[in-house]
Amino acid sequence: MVAYPDYRSSEAPWVERTPAHWRIARLRYVARVGNGTTPSRDRSEYWSNGTVPWLASGQVNDYIVRKARELVTPQAVKESSLRVLPAGSVILGMVGQGKTRGMSAYLAIDATINQNLAGIAPGKELDGRYLHYMLTAAYDFQRNYGRGGNQAALNCAIVGSFPTLLPPRPEQDQIVAYLRAQDAHIARFIKAKRDLIALLTEQKQTIIEGAVTQGIEGATEKRDSGIDWIPYIPAHWETCKLKHVAVFNPSRSESTAFRLSDASVSFLPMECITTEGKLQSVENRKTSEVWEGYTYFRRNDVVMAKITPCFENGKGGLLDTLPTEIGFGTTEFIVLRAAERRIRPAFLAKLLSLRTFRVLGADAMTGAAGQQRVPLGFVKSFEIALPPLDEQDRILDALQTATAEQDVAIERIRSEIALIREYRDRLIADVVTGQVDVRGWQPGPDDVVDDVALAALGDDPDDVTEMEVDDGGE
């Protein structure tokens, strides 16, 4: 690939130069920009047997939206003044402390949206897929435009003022064809890597479940556990409910001194903790910014996601590496603090990571589709088998060795996925801003593009939560 023959200084602040023949216009002049609303949840006639796709903010993670997770009725569309966006439009997240603000997705279906999304219906000068790629390239620029108190936000006026690069339509089509072909290769790579992670995670789960329910000493005498999901346990182990060995959602009043000093504390949106219980890209906030409206925790507490699909995916873990003594995070966390003389925090975290706990919890979920959460009462009353503290320590030590191979492999694969995503981000930025000229590109026999396969380019399913920004918790 080569550069264009002629450039000029860009009038768009997010790119230094553009090809000389490209135009620049505010988005509102080449597309219709608006947001939606959430029909009243108290009106069953708005949601029961719905047929019209309705998108919450979490669906910007889908990359290409081919199916809505919730449906509303035509009555809800009419009485809530919902605008139906045509297929070919783009949605953009406007609110959120996590990654959602500034993220976009392309609509392959007609759909309505909630109030925290901007719906962008391109006019005749602008291709929707090209716009989606351009907004992807301008992600950081869009996020920095967000404003609004403790919860930074975009709005439709800001989105509408976005300086849009406008190559001629045939050139937009060529850019889209080239990038989709490259995306097809990248998506296949990511899917293969995710499948491998799933296999390794399954191996790891089998090892963990055996150790924390049966111990590591095979010759130990067994007895009937009296717990439905564990037939037999070592005879000297006790059984109890989680509420007998942990404090749930401790009060932030114990840390009032941090509020008075307005110290910096750790902040955890959902994506900052992996399904392996590791912290990543932890943010910092002033205590005054997060004291109200977020979930409180301390170092060595255990957190678990309560909302679908993050709960089922096992999001959560031990906060032993929390950078600050206390922290705050998404309201979709349940916090557990291990009783010092009953259970080790790390052993508690292993119990909450069990596949059986997640399956039973998913069955107990309540709430509307896309908003289902595991009830706190289920978690408190969940029955466990509990070895003595010294045996918990031996089990934890043994597990660290037994799962080390899987842990290293999973971490390596995640790094490979991150690297290919970084390459993709650079490629998109170079192509949609005209730093390279793809007008002469022709597809090869392997450049087969399928929207279903491209779904792998969406955010990792482990990080997705339907309500990431809808309840003020992010």
Is residue 201 in a domain? no
> What pLDDT is recorded for position 474?
35
Q: Check pLDDT > 50 for residue 470.
A: no
Q: Residue 147 pLDDT more than 60?
A: no
Mean pLDDT of the region 318-328: 96
Choose among 69, 74, 138: nearest CA to 109.
69
> For residue 464, which phi and psi values (nearest 5 degrees)?
-85, 135
CA distance 383 to 357: 10
CA distance readout (Å), 12 to 25, 42, 214, 282: 9, 45, 62, 31
CA 161 – CA 159 distance, rounded (Å): 5
CB-CB neighbours of 331 under 10 Å: 15
Taking a C-beta distance cutoff of 8 angstroms, is the pair 36, 70 a contact?
no
Lowest mean pLDDT among 94-108, 197-211, 219-233, 428-442: 94-108
Percent of the chain with pLDDT over 90: 79
31/87 Cα distance (integer angstroms): 14
Q: Does residue 462 have a pLDDT over 60?
A: no
Helix, strand, or coil here: 336? strand
| Pure H helices in 54-127 | 74-79
> What are the angstrom distances between the C-alpha of 90 and each of 112, 179, 421?
12, 17, 21
* Spatial separation of the C-alpha atoms in residues 41 and 325, rounded to whole Å: 38
pLDDT at position 97, please?
A: 61
Residue at 392: amino acid letter: Q
Q: Are residues 313 and 421 in the same domain?
A: no
State whether 121 and 75 are in the same domain: yes
Residue 329: the pLDDT is 94
Is residue 382 domain-shared with residue 422, that is, in the same domain? no
pLDDT confidence bin for 468, thresholds 50/70/90: very low
| Residue 155 domain-assigned (yes or no) | yes
By residue range, what is the domain housing residue 242?
A: 216-386
Instruction: Please tell me the distance from the alpha carbon of residue 20 to that of residue 2, in angstroms, as a whole number.
Output: 15
Residue 295 identity? T
Q: What is the CATH number of the domain that holds 97?
A: 3.90.220.20
Output the average pLDDT for the chain.
91
pLDDT for 3 beyond 90: yes
Q: Does some domain include residue 135?
A: yes
**Nearest in space to 9 (alpha carbons), one of 24, 26, 30, 27:** 24
Looking at the fold, whether 346 and 429 belong to one and the same domain comes out as: no
Looking at residue 150, its pLDDT comes to 46
> What average pLDDT does this structure show over 344-351?
97
My answer on whether 378 and 422 are in the same domain is no
Same structural domain for residues 34 and 120? Answer: yes
Domain count, the chain: 2
Q: Name the pTM for this structure.
A: 0.83
Same domain, 374 and 439: no
At residue 100, the pLDDT reads 83
Residues 184 and 46 placed together within one structural domain of the fold: yes
- Cβ atoms within 10 A of the Cβ of 463, count? 23
Q: Which of 367, 386, 405 is the last residue of a domain?
A: 386
181 part of a folded domain: yes
Q: Is residue 196 part of a domain?
A: no
Determine the pLDDT at residue 339. 96
Q: Taking the alpha carbons of 127, 133, 138, 139 in that order, is the dihedral positive or negative?
A: positive
pLDDT tens for each residue of 176-229: 999 999 999 999 999 999 999 999 999 999 999 999 999 998 778 999 999 999
pLDDT in tens, 358-394: 999 999 999 876 679 999 999 999 999 999 999 999 9
Examine residue 87 and state whether it is found in any structural domain, yes or no: yes
Please, are residues 345 and 300 in contact by the beta-carbon 8 Å criterion? Answer: yes
Residue 471's pLDDT band (cuts 50, 70, 90): very low
Within a domain: 158? yes
Beta-sheet strands, E only, within 258-390: 264-268, 283-286, 295-298, 302-305, 316-318, 326-329, 333-338, 383-386
Using the predicted structure, report yes or no on whether residue 149 has a pLDDT greater than 60. no
pLDDT band at 249 (very low <50, low <70, confident <90, very high): very high
Residues 6 or more apart whose CB falls under 8 angstroms from that of 172 comprise 126, 127, 130
Q: Higher-confidence residue: 368 or 410?
A: 410
State whether 133 and 234 are in the same domain. no
Query: Does 202 fall in a domain?
Result: no
Average pLDDT over residues 301-325: 94
**pLDDT tens string 33-51:** 999 999 998 899 999 999 9
pLDDT at 370: 65
Q: Which residue has the tokens 């139906």?
A: 84
CA-nearest of 149, 153, 175 to 95 is 153
State residue 466's pLDDT score. Answer: 44
Residues 155 and 256 in one domain: no
Asked if pLDDT for residue 148 goes beyond 80, the answer is no
- pLDDT of 465 > 70? The answer is no
Are 372 and 316 found together in one domain?
A: yes
Same domain? 313 vs 278: yes
What pairing do the DSSP bridges indicate for beta strands 52-55 and 70-72? antiparallel
pLDDT score recorded for residue 388:
97
How many CA within 13 A on the CB side of residue 429?
Answer: 15
